[in-house]
Amino acid sequence: MTTTTTDAKTRELERKARQGDGNAAFELVQVLARAGQPLTELVKWLPSYDSHDSDAKTLHGTPLDRGYVGWAPGDAGLEYPTWKDFYHGPSEKRGSILVDEGGYKGCDDDLNIVVDFYFRTDHDSRTCTACQGCGYNPETAALYRSFYRWDDQLTQDEVDELVRAGRLWDLMRGEKHPTADKVNAWSRRGLGHDGINQSILVKVRATRLGFYGLCPTCNGNGSERLSEDRLALYLWLILPRKGASRGVEIKSVQVSELAEVREFLRRSWRKHEQHFKWVTG
Ligand SMILES: [Zn+2]
């Protein structure tokens, strides 16, 4: 009976969260975390970042998905290991532009403003030593690294594959299906092939030569995982008086800290509401 009641409550929270109810989403995340759900599941209920991964739809399939927000992990100018470091740490650790106006407590005055935010799961990693990050097996990796020694000697089947992928658009003005000779002449003259063309061509040639494959160590990721998943929070901060803006990456937020994070974001929103009250009435 208790289980049924709990399930019904969880389903109700899910329903509300799907409609964009942040209160319900936060509560649901706590419930699911207690039930042992992994962070990759929990983050689906938080405003999250679509990294354009091929599996983004299944990872972030709820209406809470932020879609592409215009700045990515790695654009972050300031990093904090934990939420505590960011929110409760000494202000001198809070990065040069935000510090000397009083650290992040500036959020509550008019100095630092949170413009946007999203959550994401992340983990520490390092470049795969077996493939040096290219993600291919040794034979394919050799072909990949020697690409600019054969990129003007493409065969017709390789060019056909570029055409199929819509990759020769600038060359193909008025020409639907160029010959290999034409493409090779073009690549000697102009900018040549980009990284996407390179990966297509490496795959076609390596497959034809019978050795195409991904790196068995990293399974094609190009990196090796060094830690468990953690929940990361990304903030876009501006300090108008200094004409400064920063992406802030808080590398690890505990589920138990989400209530405080939410209160912090709520205060940021109230600040915007005050600024724009005249406009919105
Ligand atoms: Zn590898």
Q: How confident is the model at residue 111 (pLDDT cuts 50, 70, 90)?
A: low
User: Is residue 146 over pLDDT 90?
Assistant: yes
Distance 142 CA to ligand 1 centre (A): 13
Distance 214 CA to ligand 1 centre (A): 8
Closest CA to 221 of 133, 139, 153: 133
Distance 48 CA to ligand 1 centre (A): 28
Phi, psi of 16 (to 5 degrees): -65, -40
- At residue 90, the pLDDT reads 62
Q: Residues 89-105: what's their mean pLDDT?
A: 47
Distance 109 CA to ligand 1 centre (A): 48
Distance 137 CA to ligand 1 centre (A): 8
Distance 213 CA to ligand 1 centre (A): 11
- At residue 126, the pLDDT reads 93
Distance 205 CA to ligand 1 centre (A): 20
User: How does pLDDT run across 51-95, given as a tens digit for each residue?
Assistant: 544 444 433 444 455 666 666 666 657 788 899 888 876 654 444
pLDDT greater at residue 112 or residue 200: 200
Q: How confident is the model at residue 164 (pLDDT cuts 50, 70, 90)?
A: very high
Mean pLDDT of the chain: 82
Distance 224 CA to ligand 1 centre (A): 8
Q: How confident is the model at residue 183 (pLDDT cuts 50, 70, 90)?
A: very high
Distance 230 CA to ligand 1 centre (A): 23
Angle at 50 between CA 44 and CA 52, to 5 degrees: 135
Q: How confident is the model at residue 168 (pLDDT cuts 50, 70, 90)?
A: confident
- At residue 69, the pLDDT reads 65
265 vs 114, 179, 258, CA distance in Å? 8, 57, 10
User: Is residue 137 over pLDDT 90?
Assistant: yes
- Two tokens at 120? 């994401």
pTM of the predicted protein model = 0.67
Distance 75 CA to ligand 1 centre (A): 24
Distance 223 CA to ligand 1 centre (A): 6
User: Is residue 250 over pLDDT 80?
Assistant: yes
Distance 125 CA to ligand 1 centre (A): 12
156 vs 187, 201, 204, 213, 262, CA distance in Å? 14, 11, 11, 22, 57
Q: How confident is the model at residue 211 (pLDDT cuts 50, 70, 90)?
A: very high
- Which region among 4-13, 87-96, 239-248 has the lowest average model confidence (pLDDT)? 87-96
Distance 19 CA to ligand 1 centre (A): 41
Distance 94 CA to ligand 1 centre (A): 35
Q: What is d(CA 72, CA 81) in angstroms, rounded to the nearest whole number?
A: 18
Distance 135 CA to ligand 1 centre (A): 5
User: Is residue 269 over pLDDT 60?
Assistant: yes
- What is the C-alpha end-to-end distance of the chain, expressed in Å? 48
Q: How confident is the model at residue 30 (pLDDT cuts 50, 70, 90)?
A: very high
Q: Is 254 exposed, middle or buried (0-12, 13-18, 19+ CB in 10 A)?
A: middle
Helical packing angle, 195-209 and 156-164, nearest 10°: 130
Angle at 97 between CA 96 and CA 103, to 5 degrees: 80
- At residue 166, the pLDDT reads 87
- At residue 97, the pLDDT reads 44
- At residue 85, the pLDDT reads 82
* Bridge partners of residue 141, in order along the sequence: none
